[in-house]
Amino acid sequence: MKNVSLRLDEKDYKILDTNAKVLEVSKNEFVRNLIRLSSIKNIEEFNSNLKELLILKRALSNNINQLAKKGHKIDNFEEIREELEELWQSLKR
C-alpha cells in the first residue's frame, strides 16, 4: 500500500469529515471510494448513458412538436387523443 498526504482547507476538511461520518466510513475509505467512482470507465459509461438519454429526449420532443402542430390544425380532438394514446403506448414499451 502507498501513502498519500493531502492538504485541505478547513471548509474542504469539514466536507470530507461530514461525508465520511454520514456514510459511516473512515476518511481514507471515503477518498478511496471517490477515486474508484471517478475512474475513466465510469465516466465513459456515464457519458454513453447521457448520450442515449439525449437521443430519446430529442425523439420525444419531436413527437410532442408534431402533435402540437397537428393540434393547431385539427378541429376533431378525438384524433389528438388517439395519437397521444399511441405515443403513450410507445413510451411504455
Full domain range(s) for residue 61: 55-92
pLDDT at 77: 73
Q: What is the pLDDT along the chain (93 residues), one digit of tens a residue?
A: 888 898 999 999 999 999 999 999 999 999 998 888 776 676 777 888 899 999 999 999 988 888 888 777 777 777 778 888 888 888 877
Dist CA 35 CA 75 (whole Å): 59
Q: What is the pLDDT of residue 18?
A: 95
| Res 40: pLDDT | 67
1 domain residue, yes or no: no
Q: What is the pLDDT of residue 19?
A: 94
User: Is 42 domain-assigned?
Assistant: no
What is the distance in angstroms between the CA of the first residue and the CA of the last residue of the chain? 49
Q: Would 39 be classed as within a structural domain?
A: no
Give the pLDDT of residue 92. 77
Torsion angle in degrees (nearest 10) through CA of 44, 47, 52, 57 = 180
C-beta of residue 80 within 8 angstroms of C-beta of residue 71: yes
- The tally of domains found in the chain comes to 1
Residue 75 lies in a domain: yes
Which pLDDT does position 22 carry in this prediction? 94
C-alpha 85: how far from chain center? 27
pLDDT value, residue 29: 93
